[in-house]
A = this chain, B = another copy of it.
Amino acid sequence: MENYIYFNPTKIIFGKGTHSLAGEQVLAFGGKKVLLHYGGGSIKRTGIYDTVVASLDTAGVPFVELPGVVPNPRISLVREGIELVKRQGIDFILAIGGGSVIDSAKAIAFGSLLAPGKDIWDDYFMDPTATIPAAMPLGVVLTIPAAGSESSNSCVITNEDTGFKRGVKTELYLPKFSILDPEVSYSLPPFQTACGAIDIHAHMFERYFSAVEHTDVTDQLLEGAMRSVIDLAPRILKDPRNYGYRAEMMYAGTIAHNNSLNPGRGGGDWGSHQIEHELSGRYDMTHGAGLAIVIPAWMKYVSRKHPEKFVQYAVRVWGVTLPPSDTFGVIDAMIERQEQWYRSLGIKTTLSDLGYDDTYFQDMAEKALVNKGSIGSYCRLGAQDIVEILKLAL
């Protein structure tokens, strides 16, 4: 195990009927004027908007609205939010949505407090060495279990002008509270449900592939959590209004990304995520759908260089029963099972399936490495490695 610091003060309020607590929580955490940040009309159709607004009214907290967050959230809307916060004297951000809305809210939360002359995109998202100095308090009402952003230190934004999709990390914008009512996910379409499950599994998977030794406890935690997600996803697609399944998946989404399952592992690999960011930045794909294409290709490529952890993953998570001495037989059987799992959820596993070819492979590889020498930690990848992985994804 490596040395680590774990700090996650987000208060998770989980369960049926919890949306009406939003107003009192904002008040409890000192909010006096709120930016209500969300996406489109779905929170109005489902009634979440009305419940949250009523709770703010009851708490006597005024608010200003900024809707319009789209998947792969844009830096332009973040900039608009920052201006609005400054102009209106807002002191608390309340995000109602999934990962895109929460990430947009996180960016506004720290962007609003930057020193004059500092640019949120150039000086923070594009500079991997930058340290975020401060952030406004943030609360979350989660509507999609997937990204885990409701209690993660991560924030990923797309610059629609340059095509770059980049993330920053800080504990400063960890939400003060996140309200998770699993019933919100009843109405998610199958595609969103499947992409969410794939993203949740991927957050555990990235943390699992670590080269650090003596991590048996966290190996077992991650393995158990991944087995559960693999088992739950098809059950939910068959029985989308089953509270128990939806609740377990929503809980899994949170622990997948709050770092509680991976202390001391050195942070995980994240090579697949960074390659996927190039795909979804270029083609505006849903993140989970992109992962279902990149991860099998990443496994095919990386398992040939560093097979060790893949055998344990195959045996313990996917129950491959071939003799462990047949290293590549075990690994290939596992990759086939994982691809089959993605496909059973209705998600494509190759770029060709979606009509994309190799035109931008070199460009994507170069973009992935801007300001960085390599990506990945279990296996470090350079430009040529990324291109080879993308070829395996065709």
Contacts and interface: CB of A to CB of B under 8 A. Distances in A.
A12 interface: yes
A213 interface: yes
Contact of A214 (B18, B223, B229, B245): B245
Contact of A231 (B7, B8, B216, B243): B216
B3 A14 contact: yes
Interface in A188-230: 213-218, 220-221, 223-225, 227-229
B248 A217 contact: yes
Contact of A18 (B3, B11, B17, B243): B3
Contact of A16 (B3, B14, B252): B3
Contacts of A224: 217, 220-221, 223-224
Contacts of A243: 214
Interface residues of A, number: 47
Contacts of A255: 217, 221, 260
Contacts of A227: 220
Contact of A264 (B8, B17, B247): B247
Nearest to A250: B1
A214 B6 contact: no
A1 B244 contact: yes
B232 A14 contact: no
Stoichiometry, copies per complex: 2
Contacts of A260: 255, 260
A2 interface: yes
B2 A6 contact: no
A15 interface: yes
A63 interface: no
A338 to B, nearest CB: 18
A221 B182 CA distance: 20
A12 B6 contact: yes
A19 to B, nearest CB: 12
A231 B216 CA distance: 10
A255 B251 CA distance: 17
B1 A7 contact: no
A5 B11 contact: yes
A13 interface: yes
A5 B9 contact: no
Given A220-B225, A220-B227, A225-B220, A244 B214 contact: yes
A163 interface: no
B12 A247 contact: no
B264 A14 contact: yes
Contacts of A7: 9-12
Contacts of A264: 14-15, 247, 251
Nearest to A9: B9
Contacts of A1: 14-15, 182, 244, 247-248, 251
Query: Which 5 pairs show the lowest CB-CB distances between chains A and B?
Result: A3-B15, A214-B244, A220-B224, A9-B9, A6-B12
Given A3-B18, A15-B264, 13 more contacts: A1-B15, A1-B248, A5-B12, A7-B11, A7-B12, A214-B245, A216-B232, A217-B224, A217-B229, A221-B224, A221-B225, A224-B224, A260-B260
Interface of A: 1-18, 182, 213-218, 220-221, 223-225, 227-229, 231-232, 243-245, 247-248, 251-252, 255, 260-261, 263-264
28 contacts: A1-B182, A1-B247, A1-B251, A2-B15, A4-B12, A4-B14, A4-B15, A5-B14, A6-B12, A7-B10, A9-B9, A214-B244, A214-B245, A214-B247, A216-B232, A217-B224, A217-B225, A217-B228, A217-B229, A217-B248, A217-B255, A220-B225, A220-B227, A221-B261, A223-B224, A224-B224, A251-B263, A251-B264
